[in-house]
Chain A
Amino acid sequence: AQSVSQHNHHVILSEAASLELGCNYSYGGTVNLFWYVQYPGQHLQLLLKYFSGDPLVKGIKGFEAEFIKSKFSFNLRKPSVQWSDTAEYFCAVNAKTTDSWGKLQFGAGTQVVVTP
């Protein structure tokens, strides 16, 4: 069965520290990859997405992610976090299958807390 794994459930770091969140998926076919963020009290928002082309994608708020096909990974990075980056981050995969209509498979999420 397809699955999406996020390595860390909770991450605590200080402002200006660098952030890297791991995401691995298990599907050998074509995939589209997403990172969503859920700020406290707000709805899920798209941070960035990878469909094809350059495996290094840039998103909003200084985030970027790298797709490494050989490792089935799509890790999220930010060089210097701010307190406002405190949120829950979700990796999601849309696998190209016969029943992929409107279906995203999500990782369990990583709660990131940035301390001042």
Chain B
Amino acid sequence: KAGVTQTPRYLIKTRGQQVTLSCSPISGHRSVSWYQQTPGQGLQFLFEYFSETQRNKGNFPGRFSGRQFSNSRSEMNVSTLELGDSALYLCASSLEGSFTDTQYFGPGTRLTVL
């Protein structure tokens, strides 16, 4: 079974631009969670989607948004990029995102904001 895939793997943007990242979960998984990984803050939860609905959200500004499609694929959008948004963005999928589920991670998208 194929793992979680993320595209693109690398992105370079400038301040003020916006960016869209894509995540395809493991086949059969309906929950997709997004995390930001930085050297200073570590891994922080952004949000989780299930059945095309955002079900949970971390403490990030409204510039960070996402959506999920009917095939469970998910996109994350960051608008008005700031230097501090430079990070590895990880997507994880699980069957239903429930308390007893295990999350499986993709390789991440490395975003650099100049």
Task: Let me know if A103 and B33 touch, CB within 8 A.
Answer: yes
A101 to B46 alpha-carbon distance, docked (Å): 12
A51 to B48 alpha-carbon distance, docked (Å): 21
Please list the residues of chain A having a beta carbon within 8 angstroms of any beta carbon in chain B: 30, 32, 34, 36, 42-46, 49, 51, 90, 92, 94, 96, 99-109
Nearest B-chain residue to A94, judged by Cβ:
B99
Nearest B-chain residue to A4, judged by Cβ:
B42
- Interface SS of chain B: strand
Contacts of A49 in B (CB 8 A): 102
| B62-114 contacts to A (CB < 8 Å) | 90, 92, 94, 97-108
Interface code B17-51, partner A: CB below 8 Å = 1, 0 otherwise? 00000000000000111010000001111001110
Nearest B-chain residue to A6, judged by Cβ:
B42
Nearest B-chain residue to A52, judged by Cβ:
B100
A108 to B42 alpha-carbon distance, docked (Å): 5
Given contact pairs A42-B107, A45-B105, A102-B92, a sample of 10 additional A-B residue pairs in the complex whose CB atoms are under 8 Å apart: A30-B99, A43-B4, A43-B106, A49-B102, A90-B43, A102-B97, A103-B48, A104-B45, A106-B35, A108-B42
Contact (A46, B100) CB under 8 Å given A101-B56, A109-B42: no
Contacts of A43 in B (CB 8 A): 4, 90, 105-108
Contact partner of A103 (CB less than 8 A), chosen from B45, B49, B104, is: B45
Shortest 7 CB-CB contacts between residues of A and residues of B = A102-B48, A102-B97, A106-B43, A44-B105, A102-B33, A43-B107, A101-B56
Shortest distance between the CB of A64 and any CB in chain B (Å): 17
Contact partner of B94 (CB less than 8 A), chosen from A51, A92, A102, A108, is: A102
